C-alpha cells in the first residue's frame, strides 16, 4: 500500500500520536458485513480493515467502545444484531469482547464506565434506533405533510439525546467508517461536536482521504480516470469534477454507448440513455476545450443476447448491428487503453469495462486490473473504487498490486464528485 502526504490539517488530533492512556475511545466502524443463513460472517474485509485502528488504541493504553450499524433494520431485530459478528471480531482483534445488547440505556452506560485499559465493548446495532439516521419511521407514505414534518422534528430532537448519550460513554472519538462518511448520522457526524479537541480519523479513513486527495488535489501527471459501469447518469457529476483534474479519461462499459450514439454511431441493442445524449456531447466538447483526451472503446465484444452463452463477435463500436449489443471492450480498445494507462502517473478506476458478472464478458475488466497493476509496479499511483472494479481486483488476487483499494462505494463517489462529506467535515472542523 502506498501512503502519501495529506491534506489532513496538521493541527488536528492524529491517531498515531494521540495519548490514549487510560482513555475510553468510542470508535465508529463499518461492520456492516454480509452474513449467511447461520449468521456467520461471509466476508470479513470490513472487520479486518478496522483492526489497525482498534489495535492502536489498545496498544497505546486505551479501551474501546465500538459502534456500527448492520443492515437496514426498521426496529430491533435479532437478524440484524451485531452479536452475530462477535466471534469474527474477536478472532481478527485477538481479544475477547464485551457486548452491550442495547446501545442506549443504563447497562451500556455502566459497561462503558467500567471499561479498563485494553478492554473492548461492542454496542448493539445503532440503527435499532431511528435517531441514528435521524429519520422518522413507521409513517405512512401518504401521511399529511404536517404529520411528516412533526415526526421529523421529533426525531431530530430525540437524536440530540441519543448522540449525547453515545458521547457520554467516552473520552475521545474516532471515525473509521469511510463507507458512511457521506451520511450526516449521529455516530458518523453529530457526535464529533462533543469532542472538539479529542476527535480524529482512524487509519482506514485517513488512508481513504489521502488516496482520494492524492488523485484529486495533487496528482502527478499524466493523470487518467477510467470510468465504466452501466449508466452515464450516475457518473455525470464525477466526470464533470474530473474534467478539471485529469489529462485522460477512458470511458468504457455500458455508459460508453450513450456517447457513441450521441456521436451518430450505430450501437444496435446496446445499453443507452437517450436522455443523456445531449449531456454526453457537452462533456466531449468540454473535454476538448480543457485539453482532456477521452478514450472510448474503438471496438467491442458484441453479443446477440444478454447471456453468458450468447453468440459473440468483435465489432467497431459505432457499427453494432441491430439485434446485437456491446458487452465488453474489444481487443483494439484494450490495446489503446493499455498504452494510456502505462503512460500515466496517477490512475483512478471506477466501474467495469463490460458485463463483468458473466465470465464471457469479464475479459476487459480483468485486463484493466492487469494494466493498472503493471503501471503501479512501474511507480504510478493507482486508486480503485466501486463494487465491480474492487471485486475484479480482489478476484484476481491483485489487491496488493494497486496502490489503494477504496472500501467506500457511495462515499467515494460523492467525494469524487467534489462534495464535502459530513463525516470528514465533522472531524476537520
Site map (CB under 6 A) of ligand AMP, residues 272-311, x = contact: ----------------------------------------
46 catalytic? Reply is: yes
The C-alpha atoms of residue 336 and residue 360 are separated, in whole angstroms, by 21
Q: Phi/psi of residue 299, each to 5°?
A: -135, 160
Q: Is 254 in the site for ligand AMP (CB under 6 A)?
A: yes
Q: Should residue 260 be labelled a site residue for ligand AMP when binding is judged by CB under 6 A?
A: no
Q: CB nearer to ligand AMP: give 198 or 417.
A: 417
Active-site residue 231, yes or no? yes
- In whole angstroms, the minimum distance from the beta carbon of 231 to ligand AMP comes to 5
Contact pick of 87, 234, 278, 400 for ligand AMP (by CB under 6 A):
234
CB of 256 to ligand AMP, least distance (A): 8
Sign of the CA dihedral 182, 187, 192, 198? Answer: negative
Alpha-carbon Rg for the chain, nearest whole angstrom, is 24
Catalytic annotation, pick one of 60, 135, 152, 231: 231
Q: Residue 233: name the closest of 272, 284, 207 by CA.
A: 272
Q: How many residues bind ligand AMP (CB under 6 A)?
A: 17
Work out which of 203, 356, 381, 415 binds ligand AMP, going by CB under 6 A: 356
Contact 208, 406 (CB under 8 A): yes
Question: Among 51, 86, 109, 230, which residue interacts with ligand AMP (rule: CB under 6 A)?
Answer: 230
Evaluate whether 227 touches 235 at the Cβ level (below 8 Å): yes
Closer residue to ligand AMP in complex, CB, 131/388: 388
Stretch of 12-20, 37-45, 63-71, 229-237 lying at the interface with ligand AMP (CB under 6 A): 229-237
Pairing of strands 404-405, 381-385: parallel
Report the run of H or E that residue 160 belongs to, with start and end.
Answer: helix 145-168
Minimum Å distance from CB 9 to ligand AMP?
33
Query: Interface with ligand AMP includes 129 (CB under 6 A)?
Result: no
- Long-range contacts (CB closer than 8 Å, 24 or more residues apart) made by 259-266: 259/232, 259/283, 259/284, 259/294, 259/296, 260/296, 260/317, 260/318, 263/318, 264/318, 265/317, 265/318, 265/319, 265/320, 266/318, 266/319, 266/320, 266/321, 266/322
Task: Provide the minimum distance between the beta carbon of 288 and ligand AMP in the complex, in angstroms, as a whole number.
Answer: 25
Stretch that binds ligand AMP, among 31-39, 136-144, 150-158, 346-354 (CB under 6 A): 346-354
Q: How far is the CB of 346 from ligand AMP (least distance, A)?
A: 21
- Exactly one of 268, 330, 352, 422 binds ligand AMP (CB under 6 A); that residue is 352
Q: Which three cell numbers stand for residue 256?
A: 460508453
| Strands 319-320 and 120-123, sheet pairing | unpaired
CA distance 347 to 168: 43
* Helix/strand/coil (H/E/C) assignment for every residue in 59-93: HCCCEEEEECCCCCCCCCCHHHCHHHHHHHHHHHH
Gap between the Cα atoms of 316 and 152, Å rounded:
54
| Cβ 339 to ligand AMP shortest distance, Å | 22
Q: Is 428 a catalytic residue?
A: no
Closer to ligand AMP by CB, 206 or 328: give it: 328
Exposure letters 16-54 (e unless 16+ CB within 10 A, then b): eebebeebbbbbbbbbbbebeeeeebeebebbebbbebb
In the annotation, is 323 catalytic?
no
> Minimum distance from CB of 306 to ligand AMP (Å)?
7
Binding marks (x or -) toward ligand AMP, 314..333, rule CB under 6 A? ------------xx------
Interaction between residue 357 and ligand AMP (CB under 6 A): yes
**DSSP code for 318:** T
Q: How far is the CB of 386 from ligand AMP (least distance, A)?
A: 6
Q: Which is nearer to ligand AMP, 354 or 408 (CB)?
A: 354
Interacting residues with ligand AMP between 360 and 419 (CB under 6 A) = 386, 388
Distances (CA, A) of 258 to 31, 223, 252, 324: 37, 24, 11, 16
Closer residue to ligand AMP in complex, CB, 148/231 = 231
Query: Choosing from 23, 24, 46, 199, which is the catalytic residue?
Result: 46
Q: Note the helical H segments in 272-421.
A: 277-290, 331-342, 363-377, 387-395, 409-416
How many residues are given for the chain? 429
**Beta carbon nearer to ligand AMP, 209 or 413:** 413
Residues labelled catalytic: 46, 231, 387, 410
Which residues sit at the interface with ligand AMP, rule CB under 6 A?
A: 229-231, 234, 253-254, 271, 326-327, 351-352, 354-357, 386, 388
Amino acid at each position: 500500500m502506498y501512503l502519501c502526504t495529506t491534506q489532513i490539517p496538521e493541527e488536528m488530533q492524529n491517531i498515531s500520536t494521540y495519548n490514549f492512556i487510560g482513555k475510553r475511545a468510542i470508535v465508529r466502524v463499518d461492520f456492516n458485513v454480509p452474513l449467511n443463513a447461520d449468521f456467520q460472517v461471509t466476508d470479513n474485509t470490513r472487520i479486518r480493515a478496522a483492526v489497525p485502528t482498534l489495535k492502536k488504541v489498545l496498544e497505546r493504553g486505551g479501551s474501546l467502545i465500538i459502534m456500527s450499524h448492520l443492515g437496514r433494520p426498521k426496529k430491533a431485530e435479532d437478524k440484524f444484531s451485531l452479536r452475530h459478528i462477535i466471534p469474527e471480531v474477536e478472532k481478527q482483534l485477538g481479544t475477547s469482547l464485551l457486548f452491550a445488547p442495547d446501545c442506549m440505556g443504563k447497562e451500556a452506560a455502566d459497561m462503558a464506565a467500567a471499561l479498563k485499559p485494553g478492554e473492548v465493548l461492542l454496542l448493539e446495532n445503532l440503527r435499532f434506533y431511528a435517531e441514528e439516521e435521524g429519520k422518522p419511521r413507521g409513517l405512512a407514505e401518504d401521511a399529511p405533510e404536517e404529520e411528516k414534518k412533526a415526526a421529523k422534528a421529533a426525531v431530530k430532537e430525540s437524536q440530540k439525546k441519543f448522540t449525547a448519550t453515545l458521547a457520554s460513554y467516552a473520552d475521545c472519538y474516532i471515525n473509521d467508517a469511510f463507507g458512511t462518511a457521506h451520511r450526516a448520522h449521529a455516530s458518523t457526524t453529530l457526535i464529533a461536536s462533543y469532542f472538539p479537541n479529542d476527535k480524529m480519523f482512524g487509519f482506514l479513513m485517513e488512508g481513504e482521504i489521502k488516496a482520494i486527495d492524492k488523485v484529486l488535489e495533487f496528482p502527478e501527471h499524466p493523470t487518467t480516470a477510467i470510468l465504466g459501469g452501466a449508466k452515464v447518469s450516475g457518473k455525470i457529476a464525477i466526470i464533470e469534477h474530473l474534467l478539471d483534474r485529469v489529462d485522460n479519461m477512458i470511458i468504457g462499459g455500458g455508459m460508453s454507448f450513450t456517447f457513441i450514439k450521441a456521436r451518430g454511431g450505430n450501437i444496435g441493442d446496446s445499453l443507452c440513455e437517450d436522455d443523456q445524449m445531449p449531456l454526453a456531447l457537452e462533456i466531449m466538447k468540454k473535454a476538448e476545450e480543457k485539453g482532456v483526451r477521452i478514450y472510448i472503446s474503438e471496438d467491442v465484444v458484441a453479443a446477440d443476447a444478454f447471456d453468458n452463452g450468447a453468440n459473440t463477435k468483435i465489432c467497431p463500436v459505432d457499427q453494432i448491428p441491430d439485434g446485437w449489443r456491446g458487452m465488453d471492450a474489444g481487443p483494439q480498445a484494450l490495446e489503446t487503453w493499455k498504452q494510456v494507462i502505462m503512460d500515466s502517473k496517477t490512475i483512478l478506476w471506477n466501474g467495469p469495462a463490460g458485463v463483468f458478472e458473466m465470465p464471457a464478458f469479464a475479459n476487459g475488466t480483468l485486463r484493466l486490473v492487469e494494466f493498472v497493476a503493471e503501471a503501479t509496479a512501474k511507480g504510478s499511483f493507482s486508486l480503485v473504487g466501486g463494487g465491480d472494479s474492487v471485486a475484479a481486483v480482489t478476484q484476481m488476487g491483485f489487491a496488493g498490486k494497486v496502490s489503494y483499494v477504496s472500501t467506500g462505494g457511495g462515499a467515494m463517489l460523492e467525494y469524487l464528485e467534489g462534495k464535502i462529506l459530513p463525516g470528514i467535515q465533522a472531524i476537520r472542523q
